[in-house]
């Protein structure tokens, strides 16, 4: 196994991690921004106010993007398992 091959597998793993976590993190970021603007406008400074909307938003995003995320992960693992003979030998 060459160092280039190890770096390529690692790069693909990081790319897959970013692709799969991106929609959830983006939803949490946008909801947090909206709640922060709401808190600033109404002068409600409760730290726990953003927890429930973020939880619901991430859950809805997971419901919507879940099939795509699962398909991407299954395809990545399938490609990784198929490349095992190439990686070992």
pLDDT digits (tens, 9 = 90+) for 34-62: 999 999 999 888 888 889 999 999 999 99
In which band, very low, low, confident or very high, does the pLDDT at 88 lie, cut at 50, 70 and 90?
confident
**What global pTM score does this model have?**
0.80
Say if residues 69 and 27 touch (Cβ distance below 8 Å). Answer: no
Say if residues 72 and 35 touch (Cβ distance below 8 Å). Answer: no
- The pLDDT assigned to 59 comes to 96
What residue has token string 């196994």? 1
pLDDT digits (tens, 9 = 90+) for 8-42: 999 999 999 999 999 999 999 999 999 999 999 99
Tokens read off for 85: 């003979």
Cα angle 56-62-64, degrees, rounded to a multiple of 5: 105
């Amino acid at each position: 196994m060459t160092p280039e091959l190890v770096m390529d597998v690692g790069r693909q793993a990081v790319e897959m991690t970013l692709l799969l976590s991106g929609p959830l993190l983006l939803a949490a970021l946008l909801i947090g921004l909206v709640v922060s603007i709401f808190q600033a406008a109404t002068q409600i400074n409760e730290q726990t106010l953003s927890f429930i909307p973020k939880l619901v938003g991430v859950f809805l995003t997971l419901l919507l993007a879940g099939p795509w995320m699962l398909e991407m992960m299954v395809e990545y693992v399938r490609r990784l398992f198929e490349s095992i003979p190439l990686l070992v030998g």
